Amino acid sequence: MTSKLDDIVKILPKDLSKSGLKEVASLVNEVVEERVSEQVKVLEARVSAFLRTKISQLKESALHELEATNETARAISAYNAIKSVMTAELELSTDNSLAASLEEKNDELQMTIDGLNDKLSTSINENTILSEKLADSSEAVKELGEKSKLPFKSSEAAFVISNESTHEINECRSDADNAFLTEDVIRLSLHE
C-alpha cells in the first residue's frame, strides 16, 4: 500500500502544499472505503447464498440419512408419497364421476326437452286446426243468423189427390174430431 501512495505522491505536482496533500489523501481514502464497502456487501451476499445452499444440501442429506436409518421417518415418507398418489387418484375419479353425472343429467334434460317440444308441436297443430274450425263455425253461424232474419219459405208443397168429391171430403174431415183440422184449413188445402 505504501508503494501505491509513493506512486501517487510522485504524480502530484511539486508545489503542492501539505494541506492539499492531506485533502487528496482523504479523497482517495473515501473512494477506497466506498469500494471496500461495496465489495464487502457483494461478498456478504455471496457468502449468504453459499451458506443457504449448503444448509439446504445438509438438510436434504440429513433427511435422506434419517429415512435410511429410522423406520418412522421411512413410514412418514411412504405415507406422504401414498397420500399424494391417492389425492391425485381421488381428484381424477371425482372429476370422472362428476362428468358422468353431469352427462347423465344432460341426457335426461335433453329427453325432457324433446318430449316438451313434441307436445308443443302437437298443441300448435291442434290450435291451428281449432282456429280454422272456429273461423268456419263463426262464418256458418253468421250465415245462419242472416238466414234466420229472412221469412221462412218452404220449398215443399203437398198435393192431395183424391177421387172423392169435395163434399164427401168435407164430411169425412168434419167427422174426424181433430181440433186443428177445420173447414178453413181443408178449403185452403183444396185450393192450389
Q: Are 12 and 28 in contact (CB under 8 A)?
A: no
What is the arithmetic mean of pLDDT over 65-88? 83
Q: What is the domain extent for residue 170?
A: 154-192
Q: Are 168 and 160 in contact (CB under 8 A)?
A: no
Assess whether pLDDT exceeds 80 at residue 132: yes
In a domain, 163, yes or no: yes
Mean pLDDT, rounded, of the chain: 80
More confident residue, 176 or 3: 3
In a domain, 42, yes or no: no
User: Read out DSSP for 69-137?
Assistant: H-HHHHHHHHHHHHHHHHHHHHHHHHHHHHHHHHHHHHHHHHHHHHHHHHHHHHHHHHHHHHHHHHHHH
Q: How many structural domains is the chain composed of? A: 1
Closest residue by Cα to residue 105 from 117, 113, 94, 95: 113
Assess whether pLDDT exceeds 90 at residue 6: no
pTM of the model: 0.31
In a domain, 173, yes or no: yes
Q: What pLDDT, on the 0 to 100 scale, is given for residue 85? A: 86
Q: What is the pLDDT of residues 145-175, one digit of tens each?
A: 777 777 666 666 655 555 665 555 555 544 5
In a domain, 160, yes or no: yes
In a domain, 185, yes or no: yes
Q: What pLDDT, on the 0 to 100 scale, is given for residue 52? A: 93
Is the Cα torsion angle 165, 168, 174, 176 positive or negative in sign?
negative
Assess whether pLDDT exceeds 90 at residue 55: yes
Assess whether pLDDT exceeds 60 at residue 127: yes
In a domain, 21, yes or no: no
CA 38 to chain centre: 61
In a domain, 56, yes or no: no
Highest-pLDDT range among 10-14, 41-45, 71-75: 41-45
